[in-house]
Amino acid sequence: MRICLLTGGGYPFRRDALGGWCRTLVDGLPRFRFDLVTVTDREPPGGPAYALPGHVASARTVALSRETPRREGRDEHATAAASLVCAGLVTEQDDVFARGLMTLAALADSGTLTPGAAGAAGAAGAAGAAGAIGTTGAARAGGWSATRPDQTPAGAGSPLNAVPLAEVLLEAWRSGRSSGAGERLPRLSLRDARTAATLLRHAARALAVPLPEVDLVHCVGGTTPLLAALAGRWRTGTALLLTEARAPVAKLRANEERLSPAVQTVLRRFRRAVARTGYAEAGLIAPLSEYHHAWALRHGAEPRRLVPVPAGVDPRDFPCAPEARTPPAIVWAGTGGPESGLRLLLEAFTRLAVAVPGAVLHLVGVTAAHEDHCAEQVERTGLGRAIRLHPLPADPRDRYAAGHVVVHVPGPSDPPYRLIEAMMSGRAVVGVDVGPVAETLGDAGVVVPAQDPAALAEACAGLLTAPARRRALGDAARRRALACFTADRVVRVYGALYTDLAGPPPAPSYELTLAVPAPREARPATLRWLAGAGEER
């Protein structure tokens, strides 16, 4: 069975928490053949950051170019589809949005559809008759099986390039505001519409990403990989398994807080609409926690399609090492970016440095893209000598070994990978109560309120000055991780999900019904044969 593992800019080319989870999954399922595709709008990485096992058939990065080549003229089919997409996200009508998105996927210049098939699908979508969600496309994507990592640009074929998208969005927005139904929409100016159109046009490039010919697509990620997965499903009818690495919550991404309220509303509604379309299309949805499970239910996922699979790590990768004989130290694992919780952590550490003189803060996993931002934030504290920046160690055993306490400050929808790693390492954990932190940590750590640096500093100081309690919590965290969050459970469940979704159907069974009752003394020859076969089994 062949699986396409589709992610958003990480595994196997970047080392991060999600990459470690994907590696565990792939390495633990050698009975499947994997094609690895990661879609990114950042600079394409070099070679893979993880060793790829022999059952990985290919590994590819698809880079979404930010350049917007314009086509000559105006594509009426694409414009009609864009009208459906805009109307659907404004009115929050999922069926309308999905019909438009389906047609844009058919029109995408990805090379996976013949011109005739694309034109036919476009005409159907423009007429509002693209069919029910989940309809199989007429054309089949061409497979590929490169044996080395590859990089593929996907900048030439956004299906919205030949659409006056700002005008289409403005028209849908005005209709939505005049209807007075649902949430009150902020005013969308022409400038706002052009900004939103640029962002939507860029997002739609993911619809042009070519996927390999496989038995199942496992999408792990948010909006961008999900758009690629949906397009692939509509073209080929391939089964789809969805694991949301981050629920598409209302919080904006880095730098989006500078956008106008209207543009922010467009982006939030677009991402929610894509997520709900994914819930409708996926054969199965595997939430990582009760928090993610509840999110999916609130946004239209069918309960019968939800199979919660908590995240897990390999205990051998995170052994319980003894505490280092160093000054009191805190470890925080994160990228160091604007959304990583760094500001809250530094505010708390400024208070902690007064309460616990000589304390050291280790920032582990700071990426090259965020080094400057992280260094700037550290410099503002005036505690540069007490704060150490580290890249993410290649050996997981070195990730938390330098600290006596681990602080976990997640984003609003971050998966609990880092938290589980810290728990498995046997370190006392102080977690900020955001998303699934409290349910994951349970009573095996300390949970503090969100956006409260004083409470965070107090909890850390209390553990740094109480070695016995600190070690008891570390032991409890390790036991909880071993009981609930191990990699073997993840591998076992996903192996079953792959087989359920993409495996061959069970052999047909027949029930013999006699129109005339059989004689009591002698049974018919057919029944004697059936009875004998059953007794032999």
* Residue 122 within any structural domain of the chain: yes
Instruction: State which of 463, 484, 505 marks the end of a domain.
Output: 484
State yes or no: pLDDT of 155 exceeds 50.
no
Residue type for position 196: A
Q: What does the pLDDT look like over 393-415, one tens digit per residue?
A: 878 888 898 899 999 998 766 77
* Residue 282 within any structural domain of the chain: yes
Residue 71: the pLDDT is 53
Integer Cα distance of 189 and 349 in angstroms: 43
State yes or no: pLDDT of 144 exceeds 50.
no
Same structural domain for residues 274 and 166? yes
Measure Cα distances from 56 to 28, 32, 125, 156, 279 in Å. 12, 9, 37, 28, 27
Q: What predicted TM-score, i.e. pTM, was given to this entire model? A: 0.81
Could you give the strand order of the β-sheet that contains 446-448, starting from the edge strand earlier in sequence?
Answer: 387-390, 360-364, 329-333, 405-408, 428-432, 446-448
* Residue 139 within any structural domain of the chain: yes
Same structural domain for residues 256 and 338? no
CATH number of residue 376's parent domain: 3.40.50.2000
**Number of compact structural domains in the chain:** 2
Q: What does the pLDDT look like over 272-290, one tens digit per residue?
A: 999 999 999 999 999 888 8
Same structural domain for residues 391 and 277? no
* Residue 511 within any structural domain of the chain: no
Residue 142: the pLDDT is 33
Average pLDDT over residues 182-198: 89
Going by pLDDT thresholds of 50, 70 and 90, the confidence category of residue 9 is confident
**Between 461 and 108, where is the model more confident?**
461
Residue 134: the pLDDT is 35
State yes or no: pLDDT of 209 exceeds 80.
yes
Q: What does the pLDDT look like over 316-346, one tens digit per residue?
A: 989 988 888 889 999 998 878 777 888 999 9
* Residue 322 within any structural domain of the chain: no
Same structural domain for residues 470 and 396? yes
Residue 529: the pLDDT is 47
Instruction: State which of 305, 320, 342 marks the end of a domain.
Output: 305
Integer Cα distance of 220 and 87 in angstroms: 28
- The tokens describing 430, both together, are 């102080």
Going by pLDDT thresholds of 50, 70 and 90, the confidence category of residue 212 is very high
Same structural domain for residues 198 and 129? yes
Residue 11: the pLDDT is 87
**Between 285 and 532, where is the model more confident?**
285
- The tokens describing 144, both together, are 């590929």
Whether the Cβ atoms of residue 308 and residue 289 lie closer than 8 Å to each other = yes
Integer Cα distance of 415 and 420 in angstroms: 10
For 139, other C-beta atoms within 10 Å of its C-beta total 17
Instruction: State which of 271, 305, 339 marks the end of a domain.
Output: 305
Average pLDDT, the chain: 82
**Between 498 and 141, where is the model more confident?**
498
Same structural domain for residues 443 and 354? yes
Residue 201: the pLDDT is 92
* Residue 201 within any structural domain of the chain: yes
Residue 413: the pLDDT is 62
* Residue 506 within any structural domain of the chain: no
**Between 432 and 256, where is the model more confident?**
432
Same structural domain for residues 401 and 278? no
Residue 127: the pLDDT is 36
Same structural domain for residues 300 and 343? no
State yes or no: pLDDT of 145 exceeds 60.
no
Q: What does the pLDDT look like over 69-92, one tens digit per residue?
A: 555 557 888 999 999 999 999 998
Residue 485: the pLDDT is 94
Same structural domain for residues 448 and 362? yes
Which residue range forms the structural domain that includes residue 58?
Answer: 2-305
Same structural domain for residues 277 and 365? no
Integer Cα distance of 169 and 163 in angstroms: 11
* Residue 316 within any structural domain of the chain: no
Same structural domain for residues 227 and 83? yes
Same structural domain for residues 270 and 336? no
Going by pLDDT thresholds of 50, 70 and 90, the confidence category of residue 247 is low
The percentage of residues in the chain with a pLDDT greater than 90, rounded to a whole number, is: 50
Could you give the strand order of the β-sheet that contains 2-7, starting from the edge strand earlier in sequence?
Answer: 149-153, 56-63, 33-40, 2-7, 216-220, 239-243, 284-285
**Between 169 and 109, where is the model more confident?**
169
Tokens 């509303």 -> residue: 265
Whether the Cβ atoms of residue 260 and residue 192 lie closer than 8 Å to each other = yes
Average pLDDT over residues 130-157: 39
- When mean pLDDT is compared across 136-140, 302-306, 463-467, 481-485, the lowest value belongs to 136-140
Going by pLDDT thresholds of 50, 70 and 90, the confidence category of residue 146 is very low
Q: What does the pLDDT look like over 449-476, one tens digit per residue?
A: 999 999 999 999 999 999 999 999 999 9
SS3 call for 106: helix
Residue 113: the pLDDT is 33
Among 61, 100, 101, CA closest to 84: 100
Q: What does the pLDDT look like over 505-522, one tens digit per residue?
A: 666 766 665 565 555 555
The percentage of residues in the chain with a pLDDT greater than 70, rounded to a whole number, is: 79
Going by pLDDT thresholds of 50, 70 and 90, the confidence category of residue 129 is very low
Residue 469: the pLDDT is 95
